[in-house]
Chains A and B, each alone.
Chain A
Amino acid sequence: MSLWVLLSAGTLVVFARRERRRRALESDRDAIRGGADPGALAPARLAALASDPATPAEEAAPLARRVLDGPLRARIRRDAGSARPWWRRIAALRILSRAGDAEAPRRLREALFSGHRPLAGAAAAVLGQDGSRRSAEVLVEGLVSDVHSSSRLATAIERNGSPVADLLRPRLRDSDARLRYWAAYLAARWPSEAGLDAELAALAGDPDPLVRKAAIQSLGALGGPLVRDAAARLRDDPIDFVRSHAASALDAQAGR
């Protein structure tokens, strides 16, 4: 009975503490939004705020820079390299990334290539939110090396927003169908790339149906004179989802 009483009391205390901490974090965030000086916060609370995923990136950036100028600098850098458990490492990496620290992409790359799935997934999310060209390069490298779920990495590449057509365009001709597929799928975001529509139209004859689907999907999104011919060819494709995307591309073209 005493063990049960102890555990129950402990659970209530933990609940109360977590609620208090949550409210404190929210009130700190509101105070800073209201113009309060972040320097007045204890370093640990400032770090918690800077690494909290709920703090918008633009608000977190000055806080993260302040953390890296403060007494926690050495610990954050150490944690970003090797901290355990992995979520401490990600919190540190998020601070480095939000502060725009030069070390961040290299450290995030280590995490992405670590082979530890949760760490790699979290690193991909941070690289996606980062918005820098160097982070986008790391993500493309991860996609090419197949270090994590391709759909997650593609999501992060789009979220990052940096132009990476120069890195992915050669992959349209890769011998690996997975890479042709992802390059073709991501190509819808590069409307200003000269000659891209011709490369995508050529992929409409790819032996892999997923590549054909991605090619016609992106070609349909980009538009242009080559859509009609490629889509007409794929309208009789033996695979149903390719036919369906060809029809959508034709509809989109007709609506332009």
Chain B
Amino acid sequence: MTAHPNLYALVYALFIVCLVYTAVLYAFVAFLVAAALREARERREESAAEDYDALAASRFTIPVSVVVPAWNEEVAIVAVVRLLLAQNYPEFEVIVVSDGSTDRTIPLLVEAYGLEPAGRAPREALPHARIRTIYGSATHPRLTVIDKENGGKADALNCGCSFARYRYVCCVDGDTAYFPDALARGMRPAQADPTTVIGVSSMFIVSRQPETEAAGDARGAPMDPQWLTNLQYLDLLRSFLCYRLAWSRMNFMLCNPGAFMIWRRDALFEAGGFSPDFSCEDIEVTFRIHERFRRMGRPCRIVTLPDLIGATEGPSKRKDLAKQRVRWQRVVVETVWAYRRMLARPRYGTVGLLGMPYYVLYEALAPFFQAISVVTLGLAIWLRILQWPYYLHFTGLIVFATAIPTTIAVYLTLPSLRGRRRRDVARLLWLGPLDFFIYRPILLWAGVRGLWGFLRGEKAWGKLTRNARTGPA
């Protein structure tokens, strides 16, 4: 120890930095969880008081254009479109945009829905790659399929939104399957307050085979037994129910997620649509819309709901999960950097004063601090100054402190788990502490890799390998 006095001081200083960072993080998380508990209850009671039958039958319900970007989605696209067309909603259209698919996405859709080339002009145009063919369906008049040249997901979304006829657009993923009441539930805040609600999102489950999960609205079916899928579901629960609900309550919801993002069309078009210049389009467009509306002093709300509206495909292999998270981390840093002018600026309200500091410290820079803590631990072991009993106690404290928001997220999702087996709920609960050992290391590696990718200017999308299907949807 005497041979490395400076290193000893460095380790001590790094330990203090990590400790302060962790303490502030947990204090902020406790604050968010308290807000989320209240918000979840209010939103659920609102949903319970809703007359969904009247909304489903009413000609006054605000119509929605559903836009489905699809790039080589032959595995599930037919089932996903079928579930979207079966929405229990009075007025909607489904626009599938094949983004230069090289697999059987288009032939399968043509065959399943009797598609034929049809002439349709865009209502308002956002920039996008050249369109090859537009198809209509005689049997499903609500369906339009656009075959265009490859331009990326943002480009495909811009193309679909250009053809959208209705006041709200609901952008969804081609690998996510939706329950029949997804639109009715998602549009509830917009129906109640269309003048200020410009964006809405809601919860989904993670599954290896989402179209089977959503077919027949199997919300009470046994849960997917794969632990990696369950851990992703827990991560999603934590993110939506502990954090985003709280952000939504304090009006700084900074990520309307791509798997189910409803936008008021005029707000989206005014902001210029989706940008292909970022690694991922959803978070950036949310930041941009917030920035624009708040800079102009116009009221706006982007809302997250606790209602379960569908199932999305999660990677079933660690390698694929890491690849996905690398991209997510990279886009977080890209977006935070691009909109750094909002940081700590009262003009941007809670977005500038709470949302941006949170994103900078706990989303963008989290891998940096996590890496520091790992390095500090390594140095402490090497210098033989680590006091193992204290370290193990401290690690235990962190493991269970990290598991508490997960447990609260499971508590908040109990209404969505109605009809599930008690052992499924127990499984989610006991996986909470294990998350630290199994899941967090993957996120740590992906976070560091994403941060590094940002510094190197990487932009690659990296499509995930689709999970093998075990049976027909």
Interface residues of A (CB under 8 A from B): 1, 3-4, 7-8, 10-12, 14-16, 18-19, 22, 53, 85-87, 90, 117-118, 121-122, 125-126, 128-129, 148-149, 151-152, 154-156, 158-159, 185, 240
Contacts and interface: CB of A to CB of B under 8 A. Distances in A.
- Please give me the 8 A-B residue pairs with the lowest Cβ-Cβ distance, nearest first: A122-B49, A87-B45, A125-B51, A155-B58, A159-B54, A154-B60, A4-B400, A8-B429
Given A18-B415, A18-B418, A125-B54, 17 more contacts: A1-B396, A4-B407, A8-B432, A15-B414, A15-B425, A53-B48, A121-B49, A121-B50, A122-B50, A125-B51, A128-B51, A129-B54, A149-B191, A149-B193, A151-B62, A155-B55, A155-B61
A85 B37 CA distance: 14
B106 interface: no
A1 B404 CA distance: 9
Contacts of A11: 407, 410-411, 414, 425, 429
Contacts of B392: none
Interface in B88-128: 123
A117 B414 contact: no
Contact of B58 (A15, A86, A129, A158): A158
Contacts of B414: 11, 14-15, 18
A237 to B, nearest CB: 16
B258 interface: no
A155 B422 contact: no
24 contacts: A1-B396, A4-B432, A8-B407, A11-B411, A12-B425, A14-B414, A15-B422, A15-B425, A19-B422, A53-B51, A90-B45, A121-B50, A121-B192, A125-B49, A125-B50, A149-B192, A149-B193, A151-B60, A151-B61, A155-B51, A155-B61, A158-B59, A158-B60, A185-B60
A6 to B, nearest CB: 9
Contacts of A151: 60-62, 191, 194
B266 interface: no
B261 interface: no
B408 interface: yes
Contacts of A14: 411, 414
A12 B191 contact: no
A12 B429 contact: yes
Given A151-B61, A152-B191, A1 B411 contact: no
Interface residues of B, number: 41
A156 to B, nearest CB: 7
A241 to B, nearest CB: 9
Interface string B386-430: 000000000010001001100110110011011100100110011
Contacts of A118: 42, 45-46, 49
Nearest to B194: A149
A156 B425 CA distance: 38
B453 interface: no
Nearest to A87: B45
Contact of B404 (A3, A86, A158): A3
Contacts of A3: 400, 404
B349 interface: no
B400 A128 contact: no
B433 interface: yes
Q: Looking at chain A's contact residues, is the secondary structure mostly helix, strand, loop, or mixed?
A: helix
A151 B189 CA distance: 12
Nearest to A52: B48
A3 B194 CA distance: 42
B137 to A, nearest CB: 20
Nearest to A185: B60
Contact of B51 (A8, A10, A159): A159
Nearest to A157: B60
A87 B407 contact: no
A115 to B, nearest CB: 13
A118 to B, nearest CB: 5
Contacts of B48: 53, 87
A10 B404 CA distance: 12
Contacts of A87: 45, 48-49
Contacts of B433: 4
Contact of A121 (B46, B60, B61, B411): B46
Contacts of A158: 54, 58-60
Contacts of A149: 191-194
Contact of A12 (B55, B194, B426): B426
B135 to A, nearest CB: 21
Given A22-B418, A53-B49, A159 B193 contact: no
A12 B417 CA distance: 12
B193 A117 contact: yes
Nearest to B411: A11
B401 to A, nearest CB: 8
Contacts of B62: 151
Nearest to B407: A7
Nearest to A22: B418
A7 B404 contact: yes
A240 B430 CA distance: 57
A122 B194 CA distance: 17
B419 to A, nearest CB: 8
Contacts of B430: 8
Nearest to A158: B58
A122 B46 contact: yes
Contacts of B60: 151-152, 154-155, 158, 185
A50 to B, nearest CB: 15
Interface in B348-401: 396, 400
B49 A90 contact: yes
A111 to B, nearest CB: 11
Nearest to A3: B404
Nearest to B50: A125
Nearest to B409: A11
A125 B192 CA distance: 11
A164 to B, nearest CB: 14
Interface in B256-295: none
A44 B419 CA distance: 24
A207 to B, nearest CB: 21
